Amino acid sequence: MMKHGVVLGASIGGLLAARVLTEFCDRVTVVERDVLPGIGANRRGVPQGRHGHALLPRGAQILEELFPGVLADLVAGGVPVVTDLAQVRFVVGGRLFSQRGEVAGDYAYVPSRPYLEGQVRARLRALPEIEIRERCEAVGLAVSEGRDAVTGVRVVPHGEAETTLPADLVVDATGRSGRGAEAWLPSLGYEPAPVERLTVDLKYVSQWLRFPPGVSWPELLVLVGAVPDRPTGFATFEQEGGRRLLSGFGFGEHAPPSDLPGLLEFIRTLAPPELCAVIRAATPLGEPATQRYSGSLRRRYEWLRRFPRGLLVFGDAICSFNPTYGQGMTVAALEAVALRDCLAQGVDGLARRFFRAAARPVGLAWTIAYGQDLKLTGRAGEVPLSARAVNVFADRMLAAAQWDPVVAAQFMRVNGFLEPPARLLRPAILARALAANLRRR
Ligand SMILES: Cc1cc2nc3c(=O)[nH]c(=O)nc-3n(C[C@H](O)[C@H](O)[C@H](O)COP(=O)(O)OP(=O)(O)OC[C@H]3O[C@@H](n4cnc5c(N)ncnc54)[C@H](O)[C@@H]3O)c2cc1C
């Protein structure tokens, strides 16, 4: 058992890592720069909170394992759950998914991001080992004399002088900016992790809405994804509090306008006319929120030969994905499982073991998105051979998922990280996919 663990960042990644550390440390301190608001309110350090966040089924399962009862609380709070394909309208790769079929007990949840984070934070805060220090900025690491181990974090609590929090283990979950461990390691004599980037130049514009009494839309979640000859898309989510979130997104010059009339016009080209009419009847709540996402970014910590003891990097600080695939929180949850498994084997070689274990879910999510993103950003010629094969296969499966609810449900399980992609290669699924593709012809 370690005496003290410190987690930097109290967003979803940091909260999950801190929960795991409570099993291995007497005390865990979470250091967060922001003022932490009540459940459901946005905050500065998580600007993406104003945009839709789907919690994929495997992410939901892990959340429940770490915080038993949290999913029931989300539902009691009005968070929609996708239990049936009829509740969602997915147009992916230009094809409408079959709306027949059950999702077999493992559900995706569609909370607003601040509501989810607030619920998880409240549960974490209630644990006796946990202290959350808000308005406290991490500014660097304290290291041993030989600089081979991190011994704590240098922090500046709001309005006070810098101080050092001693720690047996520090987990950097400060997000993708690279102003945490990545920035601090070189001054301690360590190489920064090699970085892979995939520029996508994506813009999101989102607006909260309330439907007038008697007006509703039956599908909890509608998603029309981008396709190479139309690199735009939109989503609308039913959310807790009887609200709807409407988001438009587009790549490069195809970005949606930032004002509401422009956003509605943008969505008119993508949504069924009946849905557009319902959206137009709704009352906007507040102003539209805009966010630009320059590209996916992966730091290959697992490739480093030297890394100090007592330090790990977690969540978006390792890898941040094109948000349209909804993967980030679920990958952070899978990293939490990896962290727990690695810590259960002790702290010898912890960083090497953890970064390798985390690279598995990160790599899977990266592969799912990579070839697709190159196509969507007009670089189909750069798609590597391996990703091309994945793209062709996924395209055939998506074609079949239009007609066959079993193929559609299997696709959802793979996409929801419940099962490995190899499950799509089972003879029974391949036969159904083939039959559906032939019937379609
Ligand atoms: C537009 C958009 C939509 C998305 N949609 C989805 C989705 O549908 N589904 C999904 O699973 N994921 C989605 N994501 C990704 C998801 O938001 C992240 O993967 C998730 O928040 C986990 O990130 P994190 O906790 O590692 O980092 P972050 O969420 O970036 O949090 C970092 C935290 O560290 C704090 N911090 C930073 N620096 C310091 C410091 N020096 N000292 C103290 N504190 C510090 C920040 O204030 C913040 O609280 C989306 C992302 C975007 C941008």
Per-domain boundaries in the chain: 2-54+113-194+300-370, 201-295, 381-440
386 vs 327: which has the higher pLDDT: 327
Atom number in ligand 1 closest to CA 137? 42
Average the pLDDT over each of 202-206, 309-313, 377-381, 423-427 and give the range with the smallest value. Answer: 377-381
CA distance 294 to 378: 15
- Calculate how far, in angstroms, residue 328's C-alpha sits from the geometric centre of ligand 1: 8
- Calculate how far, in angstroms, residue 175's C-alpha sits from the geometric centre of ligand 1: 5
Q: Which positions ≥6 away from 259 have C-beta within 8 Å?
A: 288
Long-range contacts from 225-230, C-beta under 8 angstroms, 24+ separation: 225/90, 225/91, 225/92, 225/93, 225/324, 226/250, 226/251, 226/324, 226/376, 227/93, 227/94, 227/376, 228/375, 228/376, 228/378, 228/380, 230/254
Say if CB 230 and CB 256 are below 8 A apart: no
Predicted pLDDT of residue 338: 98
Q: What is the pTM of this model?
A: 0.96
CA distance 257 to 265: 9
User: The domain 2-54+113-194+300-370: what is its CATH number?
Assistant: 3.50.50.60
Q: Name the average pLDDT for the chain.
A: 93
Predicted pLDDT of residue 103: 64
Residues within 6 Å of ligand 1 by CB: 8-14, 31-34, 45-46, 48, 51-54, 137-138, 173-175, 204, 291, 293, 315-317, 323, 326-330, 332
Model confidence at 372, pLDDT cuts 50, 70, 90, reads confident
For the chain, the maximum distance between any two Cα atoms, rounded to a whole number of angstroms, is 71
Average the pLDDT over each of 89-98, 100-109, 152-161, 169-178 and give the range with the smallest value. Answer: 100-109
The secondary structure of residue 84, as a DSSP letter, is B
The secondary structure of residue 194, as a DSSP letter, is P
The CA R_g of the chain, rounded to the nearest whole Å, is 22
Which whole-number Å values give the CA distances from 191 to 142, 152, 175, 351, in the listed order? 17, 20, 19, 15
Q: Return the SS3 of 333.
A: helix
CA 95, 112, 409, 322 torsion-angle sign: positive
Q: Which CATH architecture has domain 201-295?
A: 2-Layer Sandwich (3.30)
φ, ψ of residue 357 in degrees (nearest 5):
-65, -40
- Calculate how far, in angstroms, residue 306's C-alpha sits from the geometric centre of ligand 1: 27
Closest C-alpha to ligand 1, atom 35:
9
Predicted pLDDT of residue 378: 82
